[in-house]
């Protein structure tokens, strides 16, 4: 029986790449007879941990699991960026044509069943739609942050710049009210472009066929329930959420 290939797309960053690789390894340990995994990687211009990450990827590729890594061709770096979130979002978007070529190459040797994309790679959903492959989000943060991201487009209509100058409580479905001054740091910057990217990504999360999240229901039942019941964006269909974390307190 032919294995189905799952393509993972992220950038060369420890906090995003390694959790996604570990999720792929877990999938292959459980369903390795049915799936293979290929990572398409966008290398950032400077990585202090580059050698350590490269060593980790080599060890993973030699582990016996059907997992491989393919670095995308370089692109021109965005100019006049206003912070790392702006840079990474625009940088990954610039890889669209390379991702499309990679899909064509990978599809010639195996059926590509899905694209699993990173938080900052929502612009590449367009490529998945064009080639007819379902796209899934892998969310490295917890369900509280996911609930915020899914609710952010609605909040963005009321807070078009940031929460930096607000002194109030922010209501997020399934989460206790959060003081505006305690919102995530990127949303606290008085920067329309960075805030705009977060609103953009949050809106496009709904286009994913499902959201894979590194948590478990016993830990974050409130926000997960709010997401699954459609409270984060009542005017849109609730996304399918797949928690893949392990409740170690129960397992051990």
SS3 23: helix
Domain boundaries, the chain: 4-140
Q: What are the CB-based long-range contacts (under 8 Å, 24+) for 200-203? A: 200/89, 200/122, 201/89, 201/119, 201/120, 201/122, 201/149, 202/148, 202/149, 202/150, 202/151, 202/152, 202/153, 202/156, 203/153
Handedness of CA 194, 12, 145, 239 (dihedral sign): positive
pLDDT in tens, 17-73: 999 999 999 999 888 789 999 999 998 776 555 678 888 899 999 999 999 999 999
pLDDT in tens, 64-101: 999 999 999 989 888 888 888 899 999 999 999 999 99
Q: C-alpha 200: how far from its chain's center?
A: 13
pLDDT of residue 183: 83
What is the arithmetic mean of pLDDT over 161-174? 76
The 8-class DSSP code of residue 44 comes to P
State the catalytic residues. 16, 118
SS3 111: strand
Which band of pLDDT confidence, cut at 50, 70 and 90, is reported for residue 217? confident
- CATH H superfamily, domain 4-140: Glycogen Phosphorylase B; (3.40.50.2000)
Which band of pLDDT confidence, cut at 50, 70 and 90, is reported for residue 247? low
pLDDT of residue 189: 64
pLDDT of residue 83: 82
pLDDT of residue 192: 74
Which band of pLDDT confidence, cut at 50, 70 and 90, is reported for residue 133? very high
pLDDT in tens, 168-186: 788 899 999 988 888 888 7
DSSP-derived pairing of the beta strands 178-179 and 169-170: antiparallel
Q: Which residue has the higher pLDDT, 107 or 192?
A: 107
Average pLDDT score, the chain: 87
Q: How many CA atoms lie within 13 A of 183 on its CB side?
A: 26
Q: What does the block give as tokens for 97? A: 């044509």
pLDDT of residue 161: 56
């Amino acid at each position: 029986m032919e294995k189905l290939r799952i393509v993972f797309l992220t950038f060369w960053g420890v906090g995003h790449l390694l959790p996604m690789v570990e999720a792929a390894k877990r999938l292959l340990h459980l369903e390795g007879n049915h799936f293979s995994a290929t990572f398409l990687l966008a290398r950032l211009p400077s990585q202090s941990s580059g050698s350590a990450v490269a060593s980790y990827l080599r060890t993973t590729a030699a582990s016996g699991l059907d997992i491989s890594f393919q670095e995308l061709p370089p692109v021109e770096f965005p100019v006049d960026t206003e912070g790392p979130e702006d840079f990474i979002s625009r940088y990954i978007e610039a890889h669209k044509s390379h991702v499309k070529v990679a899909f064509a190459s990978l599809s010639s040797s195996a059926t590509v069943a899905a694209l699993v994309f990173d938080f900052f790679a929502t612009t590449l959903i367009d490529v998945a739609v064009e080639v007819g492959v379902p796209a899934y989000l892998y969310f490295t943060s917890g369900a509280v942050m996911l609930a915020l991201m899914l609710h952010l487009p609605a909040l963005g209509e009321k807070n078009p710049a940031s929460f930096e100058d607000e002194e109030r409580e922010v209501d997020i479905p399934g989460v206790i009210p959060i003081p505006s001054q305690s919102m995530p740091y990127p949303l606290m910057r008085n920067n329309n472009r960075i805030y705009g990217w977060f609103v953009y990504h949050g809106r496009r999360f709904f286009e994913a066929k499902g959201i894979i999240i590194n948590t478990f229901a016993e830990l974050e039942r409130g926000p997960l329930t709010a997401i699954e019941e459609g409270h984060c964006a009542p005017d849109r269909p609730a996304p399918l959420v797949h928690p893949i974390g392990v409740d170690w307190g129960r397992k051990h």
